[in-house]
Structure 1
Amino acid sequence: MVIMFGCSREQKEDYADSANNEKVMEVELSADTSSSLADKIIKTADMRFRVKDVQDIKQKLSSVIKSQGGTVAEFSINSYIHETTKVRFSIDSLKEITSYKKEGLLVAKIPSEKLDQFTNDVAKMAVFVDNQAMKMDDQSIAYLSNKLKAQNRSEAINTINQTAKRKGNNVETSLYIKDDFVDKKIENMNIDQRVKYSTITLNFYQDNTVKTLIVGNDNLSDYKPGFFKRLGLNMMDGWKYFKELILALSHLWMFVVMGFVLFFGIRYYLRSRKI
């Protein structure tokens, strides 16, 4: 009877604590909803515009971002060749003519309160603005949800610690709740950071540019001597080959002599028979 009475008493206490916690949570939720629902507006912006010089604008943008307390998160500059050709400039050099387009990408984080002014400053640098857009994402409800869930997990951890001696310490459940508590805190920290600093993506480009460059002539046939020079060299080569032929035939002098002997021998034989 004592054990049953003790268990019944613990259950009543747990039910009472649970009911009290629900009432307290309802009061806190109402209070948080009315007073703690602060604006958590995440701003993002995109711009695409034409400029006179991509490299120069990139440097100016970096200076403006730094002066307004922002940071450059990413940037890149790429050149896309439209057409290229080579024309003869001299015997050993060519003029390379290239038509290309240069584009730049810059992603920056700007204090949210200065985002409008920053976009106006960027528009003044542009020759022509292709498009400009801004998006505002209200994360107030998500922020409040994470905050309340974090409070619930904090209370759950305290409850587990208090009842550990009576009902056994559930380590796995405690770790899961603690990890989830940390996740909610991190999510809200991320929201705070994105609310404080807006992300803007800038795509800028310049008109097609023509670049000339003197390069070495890689066509080896252009390095051949002139006609008369080559004619004289060929005649000298012909005389050399003729001498080489005579030298080669000199190795066969015995066959020449034998040929003459055979020729005159047959001739003498044929004449003697006619007589």
Structure 2
Amino acid sequence: MKRNIIAIAIILALFGCNAEKKDYASTDKGSMADTTATVELPAEKIIKTADMRFRVKDVQNTKEQLSKTIKAEGGTVAEFSIESSIQETDKVKQSTDSLKEITSYRTQGYLVAKVPSEKLDEFTNTIAKIAVFVDNQSMKMDDQSIAYLSNKLKAQNRVDAIEKINKVASKKSTNVESSLYIKDDYVDRRIENMQIDSRVKFSTITLNFYQDNTVKTMIVANDNLYDYRPAFINRLWLGIVNGWTIFKEIIIAISNLWMLILVGIAIFFTIKHFIRKNKLAMDEATKNMIDQARQ
């Protein structure tokens, strides 16, 4: 009898658990169906970017004019630079201490601007009027509507998850770490959507512009030191004076060596005496040989 009661209790418990699982599953399906049914596509999130390369009369004036136009359209300049590269240079002698420097250089400008998206076409038309001619221009449209919706739904899911974690809040480290991770991910999704909104509102346009090669002349100092030497007559006279100075220095140097000079003279006369003596002896011997031969 006891065994039958226990078996009936187990069967009832199993049926109860199955029923709870079916109710929970149906509830989840219903909530997912409700979520799917309430999803609405956001307004179009079209990001526009444009590029232009064009030739102008003067790069600096064009940069100033573009800045004014961008400001008038409600945009901002994000980045700009102007660079001049020397193509060729030469120096021609102008006078003894000056040269005429002739330089050919090329100037280019680079500017990145953010303008309201609805005024992008109007802005590009204005640039085309400023340019001497346009080398190329392009525009790209990127639809971020789906990515925006994905971030929005995921952010909402994070909010729901955080609320559920808070309801069963505990001091366990796993719950705290999960909550922090979910919150950080929620912030990332919100930031991404804010960036998309900003890029949709303001389009980015990159401008590359240049002008014809410019030739500029200017007078500069002569850096050739040879040209600064005195004239020939002056240099000749200076050479004579310098030679006389060197000669005097040699005489002074010799005067410091008078002992050596005396020794040298003594050696010279000694050698000369022995040479003369040997010559006389040889002459006398030769004379005796001749006399003997005659006899």
The alpha-carbon deviation at position 46 of structure 1 amounts to: 0.3
**Could you say which residue in structure 1 is the equivalent of 2:214?**
209
Instruction: Find the partner of 2:257 among 249, 252, 256.
Output: 252
Instruction: Find the partner of 2:106 among 91, 101, 104.
Output: 101
Quick one: distance in 2 between partners of 1:131 and 1:55?
Answer: 21
Matches within 5 A, 1:25-64: 25-29=35-39, 32-33=40-41, 37-64=42-69
Q: Which runs of no fewer than 5 residues in structure 1 stay unpaired?
A: none
For 1:38, the aligned partner's letter is: A
Quick one: distance in 2 between partners of 1:146 and 1:259?
Answer: 111
Native 8 Å contact 1:160 1:169 kept in 2: no
Q: Give the TM-score of the pair, scaled to structure 2.
A: 0.80
Instruction: Find the partner of 2:137 among 119, 132, 141.
Output: 132
Indicate whether 1:15 and 2:25 are aligned: yes
Quick one: distance in 1 between partners of 2:142 and 2:272?
Answer: 120
The alpha-carbon deviation at position 82 of structure 1 amounts to: 1.0
Q: 1:20 to 1:265 in 2, by over 3 A?
A: closer
Percent sequence identity over matched residues?
A: 61
How many residues were matched structurally? 266
Quick one: distance in 2 between partners of 1:109 and 1:262?
Answer: 102
For 1:148, the aligned partner's letter is: L
The alpha-carbon deviation at position 66 of structure 1 amounts to: 0.9
Q: 1:201 to 1:257 in 2, by over 3 A?
A: same
**Could you say which residue in structure 1 is the equivalent of 2:291?**
none
Q: 1:142 to 1:254 in 2, by over 3 A?
A: closer
Q: 1:196 to 1:246 in 2, by over 3 A?
A: same
Q: 1:182 to 1:259 in 2, by over 3 A?
A: closer
The alpha-carbon deviation at position 179 of structure 1 amounts to: 2.0
For 1:107, the aligned partner's letter is: V
Indicate whether 1:235 and 2:240 are aligned: yes
Q: Which runs of no fewer than 5 residues in structure 2 stay unpaired?
A: 1-8, 285-295
Q: 1:11 to 1:224 in 2, by over 3 A?
A: same
Q: 1:74 to 1:262 in 2, by over 3 A?
A: closer
The alpha-carbon deviation at position 115 of structure 1 amounts to: 0.8
The alpha-carbon deviation at position 222 of structure 1 amounts to: 1.1
Q: Give the TM-score of the pair, scaled to structure 1.
A: 0.85
The alpha-carbon deviation at position 14 of structure 1 amounts to: 3.8
